[in-house]
Amino acid sequence: MTGRIALALAIHNHQPVGNFGWVFEDVYETAYAPLLDALERHPGVRLSLHYTGPLIEWIQAEHPDFVQRLGALVARDQVEMLGGGYYEPVLVSLPERDRHGQLVRMADDVERLFGRRPRGAWLAERVWEPQLPSALADAGYDWTILDDNHFRAAAIAEDAMWGAYVTEDQGRLLRVFGTEQGLRYRIPFGDPADVIAHLRDHATEDGRRLGMMGDDGEKFGAWPGTYEHCWGGNRWIDRFFGLLEENAGWLATVTPSAWLDREPPAGRIYVPTASYIEMGEWALPAAESTVFTALVKRAFEHDLPEKRYLRGGFWRNFQARYREINDLHKQMLRVSAKVDALRDGDEKQAALDHLYRGQSNDCYWHGLFGGIYIVHMRLATYAHLIAAEDIADRAAERKPGPVDAGAGPALLAPGNGAALFDTDLDGVPEAYLATPGEIVVVDLAEGAGIGSWDLRATRLALAAVMRRRPEAYHATLKAHEEAIALAPDAASPVTGPAAVDGVDAGAPGDPSGAGAPKTIHDIVATKEPGLSRLLVYDRHERRSGLVHVVPAGSVVEAFRRQEHEEIADLVDGPYRVDRLVDGELDAERDGRLAGQPVLARKTLRVGGGRLDPWLAFELTVEHRGDAAVQADLVVEWNVDLAGGGGNPAAFYAVPPGAAPSTAAPSTAAPSTAAPSTAGPSAAGPSGAASSSALRRYAHDSAEEPGRLPWLVFGNDAEGVEIRATFQEPAEVAWYPVETVSNSEAGFERQYQGSCLLLRWPLALAPGESRNVEVRFDVSSTRDHLVEETAPRP
């Protein structure tokens, strides 16, 4: 008797909050639209589809006919729509109220668009924790899809993964499917006939086995090499769908809910914290990830029994690995508490919308590529959190609502004023200063550096600059470049044909076979030669107002390469609060400079209005030793103004008569744009030369314009201009902070912000003090809140 089996395909389609519109359109044309076309050509193929909130909003605006066509497939029971968190958050990272709100919002939207409330929830990055069954069930969901890695962690045998299991939390029931490894590896990278053969091998006489394959829709046309493979000459999808229809007598395609309606659970399961196995690699520190990855590769290549027990790290560990991710996450928690405290109404709904967008998962982790390192998405995520907090603070100031005493320290953050509390939840308090136009957070334990400087009107997170740190994949880049050096014809940058289409010749025993495209996890290519020269790792976090003391004449390039000599311990050691009042912080540190005792005192003042906030920084170094010292005093200021790629809108501008420094030139890659004599805006800095005479540079350039009394930097498109004025002229230099990350198309440099270095000579006799002051005056020509609430024509 011929065996029978069912196949449930679940295709997840997502574009992050803040991604470029042209990316949405490109992936729509190469993956989303072709798949819908194929489903209309093959009415016998049933599957489930998931579109995240950012994507479905874009589709409704740009391709409304797509939604209508998709609705027709839902109406004829060919497609089942999935729900989930609306803006694709990692649910376990959210407060329970936001977890529930995101899940219900997606269910409401799916029901509104397609007439049916979703029963299944897509789980972002398959990040699972044992409390999720109650959260999903409370939001009205019956089932979700996990990975084979989850099932192994729950001690489910390899041949027992063909079906749905039941689990629960606090008595709330949930059914879980597990993506079958063999199907995931073959679709769409194996021959379609091999997929059918694999299913036939696992068919049974009673037909009670289900093969589940849940994966990203972008791999069906948008990943490198897959468009030609799936939709071009290889016609993989049409061939596969055709085979499914031809074999429908024993191979049924079903939607997950239809399967659950007719089949009982295969058993009970309790799943520990888990995600897919690659996430377990990425969550580990770089050195440990390298070891773990090698163990996993060996275990799977040789089919070793221990492969079942290799799980790697824990998703939440990204908050420990990356200070920037933790800061983002804790700011999200703070904003969530403020928004929750608002009275119900239009303002709260507007704040919730921004909050939910700011919870999109993409910048809360980092894997093989993307994540927190993508600067435009990082800034977009911060912009939504700044917007939500701004709305909440303004509303609370006008009509304070009841404060929940159990909300935690987040509500200690005033809308205006100052407070000392643990903003990043590391057990050590930070200084928090807020005005109508800005929020500044100072990490006292790490150099009293400014880790957050948010402008409310323009919603810019000026301090959101990434630290350059080791990543496990940097070893792959180095090995790749070494191979090119030894055999230049054996490998090439991404401009070479093999790297462009990502085609793999195949390997013995590999189900992908010859000519199938590699997955994005396997492609090794570079977008430019010699990227490994940019692998420089920072000694400390990229905060602002950090104090360096270096030997006189130290070159800027030494700072960029992190090869400079520090002769004091004032950079990232702890400072104590001497005074904290509204608008002002005084912090001190007893340190050592060239072996001599010194007292370093930082004063930070904030003020101004919504469109013209200002920040003043004052540093005093008092010599308390018995021997004279001579050095250079350098203040480091890191700024993110979305200036990557020579963005003409982001700039530095200096007075016209500035003399270039005589210091050795930087070897950082220069901007392709020559200095411009055009001013940053129609109005130049007060008391300065006219704006038309200013020398303007790209914000991602490396320059040493010399000794200046002031300079200007900003972003025309964002409507922000910042004038830095020095009480005493400073020797000024800046360089781009660039990391090397992987992407779908290969390794590439990524701009993370600009490091501005302000230098003064330091000569102190015993008992003497040195004082320097910088004032940053912000001028904003845009107010996003006003733009959003203005009457529409």
Residues marked as catalytic: 125, 216
**Beta-bridge partners for 294:** none
Q: Return d(Cα 703, Cα 676) in angstroms, integer.
A: 13
Q: Return d(Cα 239, Cα 253) in angstroms, integer.
A: 15
The residue whose two tokens read 């041949």 is: 159
Q: Return d(Cα 244, Cα 147) in angstroms, integer.
A: 23
CB 36 within 8 A of CB 71: no
Q: Return d(Cα 312, Cα 275) in angstroms, integer.
A: 10
Do you find a cis peptide bond into 188, omega within 30 degrees of 0? yes
Number of other CB atoms surrounding residue 107 within 10 Å: 21
**In whole angstroms, how large is the CA radius of gyration of the chain?**
28
CB 456 within 8 A of CB 436: yes
Q: Return d(Cα 450, Cα 431) in angstroms, integer.
A: 9
Token couple for 477: 């880049």
CB 647 within 8 A of CB 699: yes
Provide the 3-class DSSP secondary structure of residue 6. strand
Contacts of 635 (CB under 8 A, 6+ apart): 545, 546, 547, 548, 617, 619, 757, 758, 759, 772, 774
Query: Which of these, 281, 188, 196, lies nearest to 236 by C-alpha position?
Result: 188
Q: Return d(Cα 692, Cα 179) in angstroms, integer.
A: 61
Q: Return d(Cα 355, Cα 389) in angstroms, integer.
A: 8
Strands 143-147 and 210-216, by their bridges, are: unpaired
DSSP 545: S
Query: Which of these, 764, 762, 757, 467, lies nearest to 635 by C-alpha position?
Result: 757
Token couple for 578: 């001497």
Q: Return d(Cα 27, Cα 684) in angstroms, integer.
A: 43
Phi, psi of 426 (to 5 degrees): -110, 5
- Reading phi first (left if > 0) and then psi (alpha if -120 to 50, else beta), residue 292 is in alpha
CA angle 356, 366, 521 (to 5 degrees): 120
Q: Return d(Cα 711, Cα 720) in angstroms, integer.
A: 14
Query: Which of these, 360, 409, 366, lies nearest to 385 by C-alpha position?
Result: 360
Token couple for 576: 């104590």
Q: Return d(Cα 51, Cα 216) in angstroms, integer.
A: 10
**Beta-bridge partners for 771:** 620
Amino acid at 748: E
Contacts of 571 (CB under 8 A, 6+ apart): 447, 539, 540, 546, 547, 548
Sign of the dihedral defined by the CA atoms of residues 508, 510, 515, 520, in that order: negative
Q: Return d(Cα 781, Cα 524) in angstroms, integer.
A: 44
Amino acid at 226: T
